Amino acid sequence: MSRLVKMILMIVLIIILLILWLLFGGGTTRGGATVFVSSATYDGNFGSGQITLGHLGADARCQELADAAGLAGTYKAWISGRVDTGDDTLDQGVVDRFTQSALPYRLVNGTQVADDWADLTDGTLDHAINLTEAGNPVDDSARAWTNTTAGGTAWDNSTTCAQGSSAGQIASWSCGSPSWSPGDCQFQSGKYGLASSTTSAWTGTGSSNNSCSSSYHLYCVQQ
């Protein structure tokens, strides 16, 4: 085989490897954002208790898992704050605090979940968010805390409980409070999604609420 032919073959091989790296490499290096469902599960306080903003504890758990798995970048949890009908309503949806990628969202193995932010929040997914940060599948019955509508806004939880006014705690998610406990009527339940779903149920339905003492996963999204 001539030197020229060998050189051409080498160039072709390099191009193929470059294309594969761009398609299946980690994080934003392949032109998009990585998403995963946490391997660990947490109660509504995410293992550390909440102070003012309930999503901060969830964000920290996602970042810890991403770092441990060697995933580059900043990760936040698909968790929205509590929004009550009435005075002092705040915008606490992920749509208000997430970087909205114009490029694809992918699982850690490269499988595409959505074309871009608009596709991620249109009510359906290309593939379920069912792989952990280590690339392992979760059970089909796995649930993830969300309190987030398919469009990325916060669910209105004002009717979660008969005494459900969150005056002074408006920025907390529905399980978050500086003094949350399972018996606290004000914050007794939170909304979850199904990790096996590609319909809007992936992030929750009107009836997908459960006790804050339940132990569920988190969806983690690279920013």
**Residue 7 Cα distances to 16, 17, 19, 142, angstroms:** 14, 15, 18, 51
Range of the domain at 128: 31-222
Looking at the whole model, is its pTM more than 0.85? no
Q: Is residue 12 part of a domain?
A: no
Residue 132 lies in a domain: yes
Q: What pLDDT score was predicted for residue 126?
A: 98
Give me the half-sphere count of Cα atoms (radius 13 Å) on the Cβ side of residue 25: 12
| Domain annotation covers residue 9 | no
> Please, are residues 114 and 106 in contact by the beta-carbon 8 Å criterion?
no
Q: Are 90 and 170 in contact (CB under 8 A)?
A: yes
Bridge partners (DSSP) of residue 74 are: none
Residue 4 lies in a domain: no
| Pairwise CA distance, residues 33 & 98, whole Å | 12
Q: Is residue 100 part of a domain?
A: yes
Q: What is the mean pLDDT of the chain?
A: 79
Gap between the terminal Cα atoms of the chain:
48
Residue 200 lies in a domain: yes
Indicate whether 14 belongs to any domain.
Answer: no
C-beta neighbour count of 52 within 10 angstroms: 13
List pLDDT tens digits, range 156-203.
654 443 333 334 333 457 675 544 444 444 445 788 999 999 999 999
Q: Residue 221: which H helix or E strand, with range?
A: strand 217-222
Top-ranked range on mean pLDDT: pick from 47-51, 75-79, 162-166: 75-79
Residue type, 135: G
Q: What is the CATH number of the domain that holds 146?
A: 3.10.100.10
Residue 21 located in a structural domain: no
Number of domains in the chain: 1
